[in-house]
């Protein structure tokens, strides 16, 4: 019986070496990184984050605000007058600008007597900071847009550098997300609404 007890004690006294199986842990890490990469690519395929740089869109957008841009909005719908869009600057495609769409292909845009007219109809523009102090007339051909900043007299826009090729559009401005206390959905005004 002593032998039996000694055998049991010997078995209990010997430490059992556990081998750590790293494979499930490494698979989890790989799957997590792969999912993060897929999310990153997916989010960047449908949206962009843009910093407002300057005062050309005041009072609608302020310098330093960050906005979320919907890159897919014009895949299923058309650009409308009053939309606020982000686009590659035609003169320097590395630079992105944000402006409001005023004229669509086929439109005639006229600025005179501090008012903006499209195809002879005056625009309702409650979003501008001050009336334009310039005048001009532009015919918008197919494939182009006429865009202006809401801060009419302090904006580098179509009145200065010409028409915007539609292929330069990045997307439609959707949300102000930073600073967080200014979070807001960006309104796209019907510019022909009754005044």
Per-residue pLDDT tens over the stretch 54-101 = 999 999 899 999 999 998 888 888 999 999 999 999 999 999 999 999
Whether 189 shows a pLDDT value over 60: the answer reads yes
Model confidence, pTM: 0.78
pLDDT tens digits, 98-149: 999 999 999 999 999 999 999 999 998 888 888 898 999 999 999 999 999 9
What kind of fold does domain 45-185 have according to CATH?
Answer: Umud Fragment, subunit A (2.10.109)
State mean pLDDT over 1-13.
54
pLDDT given at position 112: 93
Catalytic residue numbers?
56, 99
pLDDT value at 13 more than 80: no
Residue boundaries of the structural domains of the chain: 45-185
In the 3-class helix/strand/coil scheme, how is the chain assigned residue by residue?
A: CHHHHHHHHHHHHCCCCCCCCCHHHHHHHHHHHHHHHHHHHHHHHHEEEEECCCCCCCCCCCCCCEEEEECCHHHHCCCCCCCEEEEECCCCCCCEEEEEEEECCCCEEEEECCEEEECCEECCCCCCCCCCCCCEEEECCCCEEEEECCCHHHCCCHHHHCCEEHHHEEEEEEEEEECHHHCEECCCCCCCCCC
Q: Kindly report, residue by residue over 25-56, the tens digit of the pLDDT.
A: 888 888 888 888 888 887 777 778 888 999 99
């Amino acid at each position: 019986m002593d032998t039996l007890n000694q055998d049991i004690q010997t078995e209990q006294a010997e430490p059992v070496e556990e081998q750590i199986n790293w494979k499930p842990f490494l698979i989890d890490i790989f799957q997590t990184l792969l999912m993060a990469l897929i999310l990153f690519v997916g989010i960047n395929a449908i949206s962009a984050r843009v910093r407002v740089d300057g005062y050309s869109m005041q009072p609608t957008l302020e310098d330093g605000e960050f906005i979320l841009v919907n890159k897919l909005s014009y895949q299923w719908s058309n650009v409308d007058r009053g939309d606020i869009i982000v686009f590659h600057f035609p003169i320097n495609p590395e630079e992105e600008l944000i402006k409001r769409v005023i004229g669509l292909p086929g439109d005639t845009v006229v600025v005179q007597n501090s008012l903006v007219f499209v195809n002879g109809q005056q625009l309702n523009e409650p979003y501008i900071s001050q009336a334009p102090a310039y005048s001009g007339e532009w015919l918008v051909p197919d494939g182009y847009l006429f865009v202006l900043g809401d801060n009419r007299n302090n904006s580098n826009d179509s009145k200065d550098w010409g028409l915007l090729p539609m292929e330069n559009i990045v997307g439609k401005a959707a949300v102000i997300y930073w600073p967080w206390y200014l979070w807001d959905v960006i309104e796209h005004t019907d510019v022909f609404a009754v005044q």
